[in-house]
Structure 1
Amino acid sequence: MIKVRKVLTAVEDTYHEGGPIADKPLRQGSVVAVIHNPYAGQYVEDILPMMEALKPLGLEMARTLVRAMDVAPSVIEGYGKGAIVGADGELEHGALWHAPGGYAMRELLGNAKAIVPSAKKVGGPGTRIDIPVTHINASYVRSHFTSIEVGVTDAPRADELAFILVMTTGPRIHARVGGLKASEIKGEDGLR
């Protein structure tokens, strides 16, 4: 059921945003798997079998991203996920990525507690999407609120899905807008 056409991985290091150079750059990464959408062009009531079939892909993508970022899983502090659905699909096909993408990262990162934020949309080749990012253990840590823009020049085609995972190694460079700090996380409920 899962037929991958291509995988795109990107890693970016940010040293400053116009202020002082950080002691350690913020590393952000994304991985996109472009796959065939078996439900394209038709309405299928029971699409849940694909959610189960996507689990190995989610884990493989999470591992690929951590390797590309060249850090230990324990260094990852932020994450997010998303999907771009080709024009012959429906938004619900992108929603199939919620469990396989989110749980893969949570498992790889040591059972992170916070919900994995998500975005999805329908679009054609070259469509870009902003994937929201939050802290892996507490969604209310303001310093880690950001997004990573992702897209693939020739995807998704009308009968494809582009599934996306993103990760970061820390807060925004020069984060200084207050709120709950990562050092203050209680880790009880994934929120604070």
Structure 2
Amino acid sequence: MPDVEIRKILTTVEEVFHEGGPRANVPYRRAAIVAVIANPYAGEYVEDIQPFMEDLKPLGVMMAQRLVEALGGDSSVVEGYGKGAIVGLEGEVEHGALWHAPGGYAMREVLGGSKAIVPSTKKVGGPGTRLDVPVTHTDASYVRSHFDAIEVGLNDAPRAREMAVVLVMTTGARVHDRAGGLAAKDIKGEDGLR
């Protein structure tokens, strides 16, 4: 496979100080990075598509590093993550599934070996399609305070023969978390769940 062809990259950081309740001293930060890339399988059915996952690995690492930098450069502040893909109209949802391993393992590597599964979503759509990317705690999927979603999308992407691959990270619990369940301070860190 040829190198991954990138058309554009968008990085955003949102700071949430409150949602109608008490103002947080330190805002909850939510960051997303979207890379719009050429889809080498667009327009035809290809049986063996897995080699592209290997090609996507360096992109995943670069995107994860940029997210950490956008959040201040210290990976220890990252407590939540997720990933996703929007596949252009000449592709298929399975092409977006190729992002699972390169995107997820890249974030785990950059964050120092997080244990929880990286939640994911994908869909096929045209330019302007929006995607809600799920977020869970980096070390324990059952930590309710970190359940979130970050909406991403670009007005001109993905074009029919492109994919928009996405990584997201957050810096902690939702700003007014009070839904109960396992607290981050009580994570055992044994299985990625609790």
* Global fold match (TM > 0.5): yes
User: In the alignment, residue 177 of structure 2 is paired with which amino acid?
Assistant: A
Other-structure match for 2:64? 62
SS of 2:33's equivalent in the other structure is strand
Say yes or no: does 1:129 pair with 2:131.
yes
Structure 1 position 71, deviation (Å):
3.9
SS of 1:32's equivalent in the other structure is strand
Alignment of 1:1-192 (within 5 A): 1=2, 2-192=4-194
The 1-side partners of 2:87 and 2:7 are apart by 14
TM-score (norm 1): 0.99
SS of 1:153's equivalent in the other structure is coil
* Structure 2 residue ranges without an equivalent (≥5): none
The 2-side partners of 1:177 and 1:125 are apart by 36
The 2-side partners of 1:71 and 1:38 are apart by 33
The 2-side partners of 1:20 and 1:136 are apart by 26
The 2-side partners of 1:167 and 1:8 are apart by 14
The 1-side partners of 2:122 and 2:93 are apart by 7
* Structure 1 residue ranges without an equivalent (≥5): none
The 1-side partners of 2:29 and 2:181 are apart by 22
User: In the alignment, residue 146 of structure 1 is paired with which amino acid?
Assistant: D
The 1-side partners of 2:73 and 2:57 are apart by 23
Percent of counterpart pairs with the same letter?
Answer: 69
- Aligned residue pairs total 192
SS of 2:25's equivalent in the other structure is coil
The 1-side partners of 2:25 and 2:66 are apart by 26
Structure 1 position 64, deviation (Å):
0.9
The 1-side partners of 2:6 and 2:140 are apart by 33
User: In the alignment, residue 5 of structure 1 is paired with which amino acid?
Assistant: R
The 2-side partners of 1:93 and 1:180 are apart by 35
Structure 1 position 68, deviation (Å):
1.5
The 2-side partners of 1:179 and 1:23 are apart by 24
User: In the alignment, residue 131 of structure 1 is paired with which amino acid?
Assistant: V
SS of 2:142's equivalent in the other structure is coil
Structure 1 position 154, deviation (Å):
0.3
Structure 1 position 77, deviation (Å):
0.2
List per-residue Cα deviations over 1:88-144 (Å, max 9, x = no partner).
000000000000000000010010000000000000000000000000000000000
